Each structure stands twice: as C-alpha cells, then as structure tokens.
C-alpha cells in the first residue's frame, strides 16, 4: 500500500513540475518578437533557472495531494480517486487559463499577470475586449485541446489504478503509511520556501541574465499572481532607497524648487508671456487612448492641428494603462510601479485635479466616455474631481454600443461636439469638457480601413473623428475662445518589439490647438504628461502649488526630464541620461549615464521613493 502511494506522490509532483517547466518555451516562442538574440541554449537556461519557482508552485499543489494521500490510507480507493480528479481538474483549469491569458496580454501589457488582473475581471466585458473575438475562440479551442492532452497524461501515467485497496491493508500498514506520507508532505516546505533560512521564495530568485526578457520568461505566472496578492500595493519600504530628507532634496533639485523664481512664473526668452489669447478659454481636453508618438504618421488631422497650435513634441507618459494615465494627466501625479491610485478612492480623492482647480475658478465641468465609467473605479475619481456631469456607455442606446469597449469614437465625439457647441450658445459659463476616447484600444476593431496594421488603422480612425470634431467646432461662435488640448493616456508597443524598459514605448502625442491659441509653436523640451495641466493653469494664472510632481513647461523652471513607471520598475529620462531600473531585482537594466556628478540613477530612485511616501501619507482625515 505505501509503495504505491509513494509512487503516486512522486509521479504527481513530476506531472505538475513538467506542466510548469514546459510553459517556459511556450512563452518564449509566443513572445519571440520581444526576444532578442535568443539561442537554443537560452531555452534550456530559462527552464533551468526557472526550476525554483516551478518546484515551489508544484509543492503547493502537492500539499493538497499529500493530505489526500494521507486520508487515502483510511478511506476506500474510489473516494481517493474522485478527490484527486477534482484537484487535477481545478489546477489544470487555473494553470491553462493563466498560461494562455498571460501570454495573450503580455505583448500589450509588458508584464506577467498579477493581482491587477482581478480588477479587470470585475468588468469581464471590458477585460474580454482586449482581444478580437477570433483570439478568444482560438484560445478557447486551444484551452480545450491542452486540457484534454494533459488530462490524458494524468490518467494514463500518474494514476494507473493499481494501488492496493485500503480494505486489504492492516491497521499497522495504514499507520505506517499515514506517518510516512505526513512526513513527506511536511517536507514540501523546502521546495515551497526555497531555503531553510529566513529568506523565502520570490520571483527575483529566478533572475539570471542581463537580457531582461529571459528573466521574465523564467517567472512562473501562477506564482507571480499569488506573490502579488501578498504585496502591499503602496509599500513604501519596498521603494525606500535613502533617507526621506535625501530623497526630498534630490527631487527638489529636479524640479528646481530652490530657484529664484516661483513655480508659476513665466519665461520670455524662447516663449512669450502668454501663448493663449485669453486667460479663461473654453477647454476641451482629449485624453487619447494609446496615441503613441511612434504612430504620428497615422494622424494627419492631429499633424495638421499641431502646425497651427502648440505641439509638445517630446512628451512621455508616466505609466502604461488608462487608469494610471488619466490620473497623471488630470491630477499631474506620476505613475507608480505596482499601484493604481484610481482604484483606491480614499486616496485618489486626496489628489489635485484639473476639475477641482477649474471648478474653483467658475468652470462648468463635463466628462465624456463611451465605455463603462465603473471600470477601475473611474466614477469615484471623477466625482471627487468635481465631474458630476458625466456621459458614459449607459447614456447611449444598445445599438450604439458597437465595439467591445462600448460606444465607438465616431458616435461619441459628434454627440459631445453638439452638446458643447449648444452650451456655448445657450449660457455664459466657461466650460471644461474632458473626452476620453476608446476606439484605439485593443482589439482595434474600427469601422474604417486605411492602414494595414490594425493598431495604426485604429489610430487613423480616431484621428479622423478628431478632425471632424475640430472642423465642426470651427463653426462655433466661441471658436476663438476655445482650446483643444490633446494628450495620450499612455503609449503602445509599436513597433511590436518595444519592451517595457524602452523609453520610446512611453513617448506620446501632446498638443494644444483651437482658436484660443495665439500662434503656432513647437515645444521640444523633454517633459511628462503630468506637466500639461500645471502648464495650462499657469497660463490662466491659477494656482499650481498642489501639483507637486509636475512643472510649468512655459515657465522659468524647466529642467527637461520625464519619469515613467511600469510593472515593478521605473525610469528617468534627462537631456543627457536615460536610466531604467527593475525594482523587483533592484537592478539597473538600462543606463546611458556617463557622469557620476549627475547621478541620474539615484535621482530616479529618489523620485519613486517620494511618490510612494506621498501616497502613504494620503490618509483619511
């Protein structure tokens, strides 16, 4: 009896270890566009270095299996078989679902699934909208085939039905079997923890290469999710690299807060005092889904508008998802490596906001979005920002919700334009209208075909909608008093081989246009999307002191830099240096710094530390 159970124990462990090990070459083949100069030997190196995590996850599964085998010493064989089948079915379902889903989203997200995936699954329609229907159909078919194959291996090799029925075993045999299996199950703590010291298993354990993609490939996606569940999303200690005073000093130097001029002053040598015709324009702020600067050639309408407006040609997004990008644009607050302030209302309500700033100046606020405003807690963020007048997918008939994400841009923008123009004519209020587009989000299904590449085609489609919007607004009597401000929420990996550590992935479109712009101008200074709102408020001579992590691009304090964050990492760009740091491995993965005096790496760490310290202090009063 004991011998058969020991064989079953070993086979079951090896079964799951093989399942996780083979995920690594699958990932590397699937993400081959992101893999640079990978040899056959690298496939084996990844599988070898990945073993600690794979042994750990397989060990967790075996904890349950070990207990089943302990109980099996005292119950009929049929009950053991049923329990083992249920465990295997559940784990196969979870393992294959995570493997396929993780691979399917990695090229766009740039990171393995973590606990943030559960935020998106609260709105399953939006989560499914990240890929075309055929992808999900193919994924479902692939899931069924793989599930069948692995189930067959389980039935034919792991469980052969040859163990001795418990009814034929003596009490002594059962007792010995129980003791041995309990000891064996307890010993699983070694592969699970990975050591007998105070150090426990973590994803950083599998990092081994200067090629970051090889390190990422070695991570077990199931372990990554479980590990992230135990993380403090706003863990200050994880991003503490120096004393708070030292971090504050370095960040203050970056923002030139010790300069002789105030943060709201203006520079008159390269740009005049004002670039707007009025201090109180009607403002239409477009937050453009995934409008990467790398797709600039697919935007003829915005290119045309940039020639008659203010084009901020070297603007970088601070993060990689819409919920982060909206906060950075509207609140001037940088992105963070492992958190989204929008999803935590009691913290996001403490942020400054363009809505709050302009409402205090007498502005009427409206927000337009064709999708679900409850996705990632957007509604609470908007309400706390003063936007009590909002339009979302629920305000349109079902027939207009033509895309997977909701109402496409060619329906949303004309509706918004008509409302805006009507308000200009009907009342004497000044208005802020924020329009968040969505059609250039994956899966890029739009009712137009101008570009072969689906991403570029969706960009061209939304760009055409913007052109029609601007042309219609020119007919308004208030055109000369209207500012159209355009800024992307985040970039996109186009070309497709741009990894998350490449700053070009974060370079985005940003420009001002409209009759309120006094004259055309290109601002070539390196900057962040967080700088746009403080720059606008400065032009309106409104306070910007609450926007502590942003600068006035048209003022005297204009140190060129851009900070960005990705999943468990961050980067800092200056005129001379570029550094990108993997926070999980605490390692600089990109560095062009040649001057120790500039110490850009230390400044980047100081920046993320100050951001996390600020978030930590956002407690309820």
pLDDT, one tens digit per residue, over 153-181 is: 999 888 765 444 445 677 888 888 888 89
User: Which among 146, 156, 159, 106 has a CA at the least distance from the CA of 130?
Assistant: 106
Using only C-alpha atoms, the chain has a radius of gyration, in whole angstroms, of 28
Task: Answer whether 24's CB lies under 8 Å from 217's CB.
Answer: yes
Instruction: Measure the CA dihedral 129/132/133/135, to 10°.
Output: -120
The predicted model gives 86-106 an average pLDDT of: 92
Of 145 and 114, the one with more pLDDT: 145
Q: Given pLDDT bands bounded at 50, 70 and 90, which one contains residue 232?
A: low
The H or E element containing residue 568 is none
Task: Categorize the per-residue pLDDT at 578 as very low, low, confident or very high, splitting at 50, 70 and 90.
Answer: very high
Report, as an integer, the average pLDDT of 184-202.
79
Residue 263 has pLDDT above 70, yes or no: no
Interval 563-579 mean pLDDT: 93
The mean pLDDT value for 110-116 works out to 80
Q: What is the pLDDT of residues 349-365, one digit of tens each?
A: 889 999 999 999 999 99
Please determine, for residue 299, whether its predicted confidence score (pLDDT) is greater than 50: yes
- CA 373, CA 602: separation in Å to the nearest integer? 38
The whole-number pLDDT of residue 228 equals 74
pLDDT-derived band of residue 224, with 50, 70 and 90 as boundaries? confident
Closest C-alpha among 289, 323, 294 to residue 465: 289
Q: What is the pLDDT of residue 88?
A: 96
Q: What is the mean pLDDT of the chain?
A: 88
Is it the case that residue 196 has pLDDT exceeding 80?
A: no
488 — pLDDT class (breaks 50, 70, 90): very high
* pLDDT value at residue 127: 61
How is residue 155 annotated by DSSP? Answer: I
Q: What is the DSSP letter of 489?
A: S
Average pLDDT rounded to a whole number, residues 227-240: 77
Distance between CA 459 and CA 451 in Å, rounded? 9
- Output the pLDDT for position 269: 40
Beta-bridge mates of residue 512? 310, 485
Q: Residue 177's pLDDT is what?
A: 82
Instruction: Return the half-sphere exposure (C-beta side, CA atoms, 13 A cut-off) of residue 489.
Output: 20
Would you state the pLDDT for residue 132? 65
Q: Is the pLDDT of residue 264 over 60?
A: no
Residue 130 confidence (pLDDT) above 80: no
Share of the chain above pLDDT 70, in %: 90
The pLDDT of 76-90, averaged and rounded, is 90
Q: Is pLDDT above 60 for 620?
A: no
Coil, strand or helix at 579:
strand
Which one has a higher pLDDT value, 112 or 62? 62
Question: What phi-psi label fits residue 514: left (phi over 0), alpha (psi between -120 and 50 degrees) or beta?
Answer: left
Say if CB 446 and CB 408 are below 8 A apart. yes
Domains of the chain, with CATH numbers?
2-229 (no CATH), 281-557 (3.40.720.10)
Residue 246 pLDDT: 96
Query: Considering only 58-67, 114-123, 336-345, which range has the smallest mean pLDDT?
Result: 114-123
Please report, rounded to a whole number, the percentage of residues in the chain having pLDDT higher than 90: 60
Q: What is the pLDDT of residues 63-75, one digit of tens each?
A: 999 999 898 888 8
With 70 as the cut, is the pLDDT of residue 279 above it?
yes
Confidence of residue 523 (pLDDT cuts 50, 70, 90): very high
Going through 491-606 in order, the beta strands assigned E by DSSP cover: 507-508, 510-513, 521-523, 527-528, 561-566, 569-574, 578-582, 587-591
pLDDT tens for residues 346-403?
A: 788 889 999 999 999 999 999 999 998 888 888 889 998 999 899 999 999 999 988 8
pLDDT, residue 260, reads 35
Instruction: Provide the token pair at 433.
Output: 């209208």
pLDDT band at 426 (very low <50, low <70, confident <90, very high): confident
Which residue would you say has higher pLDDT here, 616 or 205? Answer: 616
* pLDDT attached to residue 499: 87
Q: With a cut of 80, say whether residue 207 has pLDDT above it.
A: no
């Amino acid at each position: 009896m004991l011998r058969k159970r020991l064989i079953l124990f070993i086979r079951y462990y090896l079964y799951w270890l093989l399942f996780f090990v083979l995920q690594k070459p699958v990932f590397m083949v699937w993400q081959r566009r992101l893999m640079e100069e990978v040899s056959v030997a690298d496939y084996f190196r990844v599988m070898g270095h990945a073993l600690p995590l794979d042994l750990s996850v397989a060990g967790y599964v075996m904890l349950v299996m070990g207990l089943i085998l302990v109980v099996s010493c005292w119950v009929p064989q049929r009950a053991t078989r049923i329990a083992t089948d249920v465990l295997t079915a559940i784990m196969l379902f979870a393992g294959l679902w995570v493997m396929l889903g993780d691979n399917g989203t990695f090229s766009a997200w740039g990171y393995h699934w973590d606990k943030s995936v559960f935020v998106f699954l609260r709105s399953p329609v939006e989560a499914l909208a990240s890929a075309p229907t055929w992808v999900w159909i193919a994924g479902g078919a692939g899931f069924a085939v793989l599930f069948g194959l692995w189930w067959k291996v389980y039935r034919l090799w792991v469980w052969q039905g040859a163990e001795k029925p418990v009814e034929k075993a003596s009490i002594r045999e059962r007792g010995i079997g129980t003791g041995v299996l309990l000891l064996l199950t307890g010993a699983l703590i070694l592969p699970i923890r990975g050591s007998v010291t105070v150090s426990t298993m973590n994803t950083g354990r599998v990092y081994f290469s200067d090629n970051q993609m090889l390190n990422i490939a070695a991570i077990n996606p199931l372990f990554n999710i479980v590990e992230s569940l135990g993380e403090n999303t706003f863990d200050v200690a994880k991003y503490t690299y120096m004393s708070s005073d030292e971090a504050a000093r370095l960040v203050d130097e970056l923002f030139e807060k010790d300069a002789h001029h105030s943060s709201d002053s203006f520079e008159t040598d390269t740009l005049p005092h004002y670039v707007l015709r009025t201090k109180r324009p009607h403002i239409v702020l477009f937050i453009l889904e995934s409008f990467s600067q790398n797709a600039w050639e697919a935007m003829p309408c915005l290119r045309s508008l940039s020639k008659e407006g203010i084009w901020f040609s070297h603007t970088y997004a601070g993060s990689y998802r819409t919920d982060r990008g909206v906060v950075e644009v509207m609140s001037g607050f940088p992105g963070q490596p492992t958190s989204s302030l929008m999803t935590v209302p009691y913290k996001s309500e403490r942020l400054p906001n363009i809505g709050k700033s302009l409402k205090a100046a007498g502005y009427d606020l409206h927000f337009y979005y064709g999708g679900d405003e409850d996705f990632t807690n957007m509604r609470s963020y908007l309400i706390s920002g003063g936007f009590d007048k909002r339009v979302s997918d629920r305000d349109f008939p079902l027939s207009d919700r033509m895309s997977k994400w909701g109402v496409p841009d060619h329906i949303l923008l004309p509706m918004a334009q008509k409302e805006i123009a009507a308000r200009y004519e009907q009342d004497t209020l000044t208005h802020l209208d924020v329009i968040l587009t969505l059609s250039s989000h994956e899966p890029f299904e739009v009712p137009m075909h101008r570009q072969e590449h689906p991403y570029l085609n969706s960009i061209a489609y939304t760009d055409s909608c913007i052109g029609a919007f601007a042309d219609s607004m020119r007919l308004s009597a208030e055109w000369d008093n209207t500012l159209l401000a355009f800024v992307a929420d985040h970039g996109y990996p186009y070309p497709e081989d741009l990894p998350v550590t490449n700053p070009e992935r974060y370079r985005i479109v940003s420009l001002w246009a409209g009759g309120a712009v006094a004259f055309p101008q290109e601002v070539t200074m390196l900057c962040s999307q967080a700088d746009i709102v403080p720059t606008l408020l400065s032009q309106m001579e409104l306070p910007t002191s609450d926007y502590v992590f942003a600068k006035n691009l048209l003022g005297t304090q204009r140190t060129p830099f851009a900070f960005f964050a990705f999943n468990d990492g961050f980067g800092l760009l200056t005129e001379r240096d570029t550094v990108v740091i993997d926070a999980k491995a605490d390692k600089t993965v990109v560095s062009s710094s040649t001057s120790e005096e500039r110490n850009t790496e230390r400044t980047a760490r100081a920046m993320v530390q100050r951001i996390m310290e600020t978030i930590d202090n956002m407690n309820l009063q």
